[in-house]
Structure 1
Amino acid sequence: MIERIDTLCMIVSDVEKSARWYKEALDFKAVFIGEGYRVLQVGDGGTPLTIEEGQVQPKPNQPYPIFFSTQITKLHENLRTQGVRVSDVHNDEVNQYFKFYDPDGNQLQVCYFE
């Protein structure tokens, strides 16, 4: 039966351009290069992010990945300095989090909790 999530998949308009952005903005490394897609290692985690070239149609309430960072404030500032669209850092008394968007407008989120 099902044992784990193998990968998270997101559609991007230009897989080469997006792979560069994910490397430069988030330090994700391409661990597999396929025709029209890239499998990106996310930090030291076991679940990669696969970006697949296709027609991007971001919608409200669309599922999105939430990444974890112990350096959330530094990451937020780094992304903002790079010109990435980011929300404010929110604190809901359980965790801190912020949303940000890749070049295709795909929503992503980062959280931190103890």
Structure 2
Amino acid sequence: MFERIDTICLTVSDVERSSSWYQEVLGLKEVFKGEKYRILKVGNSEIPLTIEEGSASSNENNAYPIFFTKDIETTHQKLKELGVDVSELKNDGENNYFNFFDLDNNKLQVCYWH
């Protein structure tokens, strides 16, 4: 169903300011710039860090893994058939994705991009 973990995503209150901080303070390199998110390369790791603008309340669990699949429609349907709580398929102009939730309502995401 999944090929790999595509990225780990953290929610930040200001994506521009946070991207600068991650680059200047932690030495990460911005490798992709989306409208409300940035993808940052972490050293020699193949798994990047994604920062996404949103509510960064410490009362919420905002970190979540994003899994990659080459067949997002089949994966979406299979999870639905297994009784998993899944969102509708979405496209942000770059990625096709959907969210799904585990037994404790932790958010997980699946994406496909070229």
TM-score (norm 2): 0.51
Residue aligning to 1:5: 5
Q: Give unpaired runs (5+ residues) of structure 1.
A: 66-114
Which residue in 1 is equivalent to 2:16? Answer: 16
In the alignment, which residue of structure 1 is the partner of 2:55? Answer: 55
Structure with the higher fraction of residues in strand conformation: 2
Q: Flag the 1:3–1:35 CA change in 2: closer, same or farther, 3 A.
A: same
* Correspondence for 1:25: 25
Is the contact made by 2:56 and 2:62 (CA closer than 8 Å) also made in structure 1?
no
User: TM-score, normalized by length of structure 1?
Assistant: 0.51
Deviations 1:20-73 (A, max 9, x none): 0000111111100000100000111000000000111123887689xxxxxxxx
Structure-2 residue corresponding to 1:82: none
Match of 1:32, SS state, is strand
Task: Name segments (4+ residues, structure 1) moved above 2 Å.
Answer: 59-65
User: Within the alignment, does 1:36 sit opposite 2:32 as a pair?
Assistant: no
In 1, the alpha carbon distance for the partners of 2:50 and 2:62 equals: 17
Amino acid at match of 2:28: F
Over aligned residues, Cα RMSD in angstroms?
2.2
Gaps of 5+ in 2: 66-114
SS in structure 2 of the partner of residue 24 of structure 1: helix
CA distance in 1: counterparts of 2:63 and 2:4, whole angstroms: 18
Higher relative contact order (CA 8 A, sep 6+): 2
Q: Distance in 2 between matches of 1:31 and 1:47?
A: 12
Q: Which amino acid aligns with 1:48?
A: P
The number of equivalent residue pairs is 65
Q: Secondary structure at the match of 1:21?
A: helix
